[in-house]
Structure 1
């Protein structure tokens, strides 16, 4: 298997998920980042941010991206869930660079080779990579906040992992997370509610449907802030909340748990913003939730 092919991953979702116009996209990102204000929980070592169409989640994602300090970061890992292919582990891209309307981002092939040597990673096809939006949606934001700085990216597609595999990948990524020159983007939307998602959990004691959805998401967000992989797994089993990036989040929580427990780090998580695509009132309604969080190392 060759890991050194001269391939560029195209921005295949730019026409439907975000504008392909450099000028318009730059203006949108500038506006969202400005409105998000100054960093309040940084400098972040990692973020959790959504990956839906920018018209729905761009403003929310900006609250996470404002926490990055681009002068420190040399390498950005992007952990995104697989929406289209069955994958029981994690897969890496064959591409050497990823195209965005704001410029191409170079893939760190040396780090890829280090990951391949663990025997825990496989290579996806370029077609599979381009079909998946969970990583691509973060690339323009990364290009914008890192503009003018020398860095590379490490895209990782995360499959439907067991709790044991989440722990395994958490341990593998922990040494990278502990290095301040590395930054992690955890790609995830939150509750997908409605018949089209086959999920309509509703507790009337929490108010209207959209209020019940928010309460459900906030329960998950508070558990994530506790940095407990076991509690997050239990929450998902109890409520079945359709958090599409639950496995990348699980990997992150396991990496943090490993570092906090075994290396005496003090890593904390804080959610900074929450939004819903629609306020559901009737059972025929549907919505997707978005949340932005910052993960920092405390001295």
Structure 2
């Protein structure tokens, strides 16, 4: 069986089981996090979330807000989609089989769903190499492991091509898979990169306003017009499209903060948002 070994353990998050579990607990209890440990008592059906992917000390609390929001649910499949920062491998890549390993343990890739999503779109190709070095999906896995106590599988998708037309096709394919199994969709992205804190807040608010309205056309227009440096814009758009196809009528911003808000240096920050679709 193929094992996708950790690429950023010891950098983006702690590399030992005990330290990692402690770090995630701290993210949930952080003042920018939900303030409670999962599971929540919320029973609203959430179809998908937007979640950041920086180091846990920076974006972990905002990520925890997304995970707490879905923690009362019982998905058998978690579809995770993010941007390919390294630009290696296929334009749109799904891992077909194997497990993703973290210091907490292994999570199995849903081969059945991988085969189905590959059939549903010629854009989505089988390729494990695309996934080998990137952090955007990897940092989600330990959070999922600590959020859910039941067994589930993952379907990891990573994008070099984040264009409007690709996002529409990928989003519709994700929706078709989600209709077969009890699924949660996680779109992995950070927002504005390396700008002053006030400017990042202003830029990101304008983009988030389009996301919560599920307006993909306006989303791409604002992204281009304001030159917003959200790295996973195609992952966000694909998640919006999939959730809308699955009946979502709104997005809700749970929490927004920047690395500057969290660690104090506000001269050059990265923006993070927790958004849920229901």
Change in CA separation of 1:47 and 1:71 when aligned onto 2, cut-off 3 Å:
closer
User: Paired residue for 1:140?
Assistant: 142
Contact 1:64 1:294 in 2 (8 A): yes
User: Paired residue for 1:14?
Assistant: 9
**Shift of residue 29 of structure 1?**
1.4
Contact 2:58 2:259 in 1 (8 A): yes
Separation in 2, partners of 1:276, 1:27: 22
Unaligned 5+ runs, structure 2: none
User: Paired residue for 1:214?
Assistant: 201
**Shift of residue 61 of structure 1?**
0.6
**What does the per-residue CA deviation read over 1:175-229, in whole Å, with 9 as the maximum and x for residues that have no partner?**
33456710111100010024xxxxxxxxxxxxxx421210111111111000011
User: Paired residue for 1:291?
Assistant: 273
User: Paired residue for 2:221?
Assistant: 234
Paired residue for 2:105, among 80, 103, 106?
A: 103
Separation in 1, partners of 2:148, 2:159: 24
Q: SS in structure 2 opposite 1:131? A: coil
Separation in 2, partners of 1:71, 1:226: 24
Contact 2:81 2:188 in 1 (8 A): yes
Separation in 2, partners of 1:104, 1:65: 19
Q: SS in structure 2 opposite 1:60? A: helix
Contact 1:9 1:130 in 2 (8 A): yes
Normalising by the residue count of structure 2, what TM-score does the alignment of the two structures yield?
0.88
The alignment's C-alpha RMSD in Å is: 2.2
User: Paired residue for 1:202?
Assistant: none
Contact 1:39 1:67 in 2 (8 A): no
Please say which of residues 99-108 and 177-186 is displaced more in the overlay: 177-186
Separation in 2, partners of 1:266, 1:46: 9
Normalising by the residue count of structure 1, what TM-score does the alignment of the two structures yield?
0.82
**Shift of residue 40 of structure 1?**
6.4
**What does the per-residue CA deviation read over 1:261-290, in whole Å, with 9 as the maximum and x for residues that have no partner?**
xxxx343211111121126xxxx9422111
Paired residue for 2:19, among 2, 17, 24?
A: 24
**Shift of residue 92 of structure 1?**
1.3
Separation in 2, partners of 1:189, 1:266: 22
Change in CA separation of 1:87 and 1:129 when aligned onto 2, cut-off 3 Å:
closer
